[in-house]
Amino acid sequence: MKRVLITGAAGYIGSHTIVELVNAGYDVVGVDNFSNSSAKVLDGIEKIVGKRIDFVEVDCTDKEAFEKVFQKYPDIEAAIHFAAYKAVGESIDNPTMYYRNNISTLLNLVDLMVAKGKSANVVFSSSAIVYGQSNNLQMPIKESVPMGAAISPYGATKQMAEEILGHCVNAHNNLNVTILRYFNPIGAHPSAFIGELPKGVPSNLVPVMTETAAGKRECLSVFGNDYNTPDGSCIRDYIYVVDLAKAHVKAVERMFKDGVRWDVFNIGTGKGLSVLELINAFEKATGVKLNYKIAPRRPGDIVESCADANKANQILGWSADTPIEDVLLSAWKWQCSLDK
C-alpha cells in the first residue's frame, strides 16, 4: 500500500488523521519533535489501530535530520503537513518563532519531496484565518474569496505558505498540492484514546468548556452577548476532528487517483453555531451543567465565520455529518479520561 508521511504526527489533527489513514489501508510514517505534543499520543493511536505506527522523532526545521526520514522510507509517495505552531496570541508575542518554524518546516518538506524525483503529493493544513478578519465577508465563505489582511503572524504564515506552495507547483512539474482550510476543529476520537491536548492554558473554546465541566475551571466566559446574531453570541463553524481527518484521506486518495496539480477546499460543516448554542448542546449531550458568565467582547473577535463546504462535498465526496451532541460527548469522554 502507498506510504504517507505525516508531519506533526502527535498533534491533535495529525494523530486523528493517522488513525483514518491506517483504517483506509495506508502505510504511514509520522514525524514530530513533541514541542507542542506528547509521545503518549502514539500509545493512544496504537490502542485504536492495533499496531505501532512507524515514527521518527525529528524537528522538521532541521533539514539534514529531516532528510534522513526520506532516506529511511524511500517509498513515501505523499505528505500531509501539520507541523506548525498555531496559537494566535503566542504568534503576536513571538512572531519570529512563528515565521521561522512555520515557513522553514514547509520549505524543507517541499525540497525533500520534490528531490525524490517522482510524483510528490502534498496536502497542506491551512486555516480559515487566511480569509482575514472582516465582518463584511459574505457567509458562508467560499474558496474564491480573496485573502484578507492577516490579523496575526500565525495567520500570515498560513497565507505565505499557500503562496509559497503555489509558486512551487509552478516551478516543479512533479509537485502536486491540495490545501485544506479548516474552520473550528473540535471533539476527540470516540474511543477517548486521543483528543485535544493543549499544553498550558487552552485557548480553544471546547477544552475550556470541558475543563469547566470537570471542575478544573471555576467559570467559562462568553465574550459578548450583544452581537447581531439570534442570541447575541458569536457564531462559528465547528467541525468534528474525525470528520476533518477523513477529509485528508479523501484528498490523498484523489491526488493518487487523478494526479491533481493544485486545489483548495474549505473543510467545515457549512452550518454555524453560536457560543451559547454550543454550550446548550454540550449540556444536552453530557447532562452536565456549565457554569458560565457573560464577559465583555474581546477585541478583534468577528461576529460570524462559516464555511461553504459544497466544493469538498461534491469533488472530494466528503461531508461532515456527525451530530454536534456526539461530537461534544466525545470531547467530554476525552476530558474524563484525562482525569483518571
Across residues 146-172, what is the average pLDDT?
A: 96
- Res 242 pLDDT > 80: yes
Position 340 confidence tier, pLDDT thresholds 50, 70, 90:
confident
- Res 201 pLDDT > 80: no
The set of residues, in sequence order, having a beta carbon less than 8 Å from that of 195 and lying 6+ positions away, is 12, 187, 188, 189, 241, 330, 331, 334, 335, 337, 338
Domains of the chain: 3-187+238-269+308-318 (3.40.50.720)
Of the candidates 229, 249, 329, the residue with the CA atom closest to the CA atom of residue 285: 329
Exposed/middle/buried for residue 228 (C-beta within 10 Å: 0-12, 13-18, 19+): exposed
305-335 confidence digits (pLDDT tens): 999 999 999 999 999 999 999 999 999 999 9
- Against a cut of 0.85, is the pTM above it? yes
26 counts as catalytic: no
54-104 confidence digits (pLDDT tens): 999 999 999 999 999 999 999 999 999 999 999 888 999 999 999 999 999
Position 199 confidence tier, pLDDT thresholds 50, 70, 90:
confident
- Nine-digit cell string for 125: 493544513
Query: Could you tell me if 139 and 304 are in contact, meaning their C-beta atoms sit under 8 angstroms apart?
Result: yes
- Res 200 pLDDT > 80: no
- Res 202 pLDDT > 90: no
- Res 298 pLDDT > 90: no
- Angle, helices 63-72/95-114, rounded to nearest 10 degrees: 30
Q: How many of the other CB atoms lie within 10 Å of CB of 264? A: 19
- Nine-digit cell string for 43: 500509545
Q: Poorest-confidence range of 49-63, 67-81, 139-153, 197-211?
A: 197-211
Angle at alpha carbon of residue 49, lines to 35 and 109, rounded to 5°: 40
Across residues 130-159, what is the average pLDDT?
A: 92
Q: In this predicted structure, what is the pLDDT of residue 73?
A: 97
Query: Could you tell me if 162 and 124 are in contact, meaning their C-beta atoms sit under 8 angstroms apart?
Result: yes
The CA distance from 237 to 270, in Å, is: 7
2-32 confidence digits (pLDDT tens): 999 999 999 999 999 999 999 999 999 999 9
Q: In this predicted structure, what is the pLDDT of residue 265?
A: 98
Mean pLDDT of the chain: 96
- Nine-digit cell string for 281: 448542546
Q: In this predicted structure, what is the pLDDT of residue 339?
A: 78
Secondary structure, 3-state, the chain = CCEEEEECCCCHHHHHHHHHHHHCCCEEEEEECCCCCCCHHHHHHHHHHCCCCEEEECCCCCHHHHHHHHHHCCCEEEEEECCCCCCHHHHHHCHHHHHHHHHHHHHHHHHHHHCCCCCEEEEEEEEHHHHCCCCCCCCCECCCCCCCCCCCHHHHHHHHHHHHHHHHHHHCCCEEEEEEEECEEECCCCCCCCCCCCCCCCCCHHHHHHHHHCCCCCCEEEECCCCCCCCCCCEECEEEHHHHHHHHHHHHHHHHHHCCCEEEEEECCCCCEEHHHHHHHHHHHHCCCCCEEEECCCCCCCCEECECCHHHHHHHCCCCCCCHHHHHHHHHHHHHHHCC
Across residues 22-44, what is the average pLDDT?
A: 97
- Res 124 pLDDT > 80: yes
Torsion of CA 189, 193, 194, 196, to 10 degrees: 90
The CA distance from 27 to 29, in Å, is: 7
Among candidate residues 12, 131, 154, 227, the one labeled active-site is 154
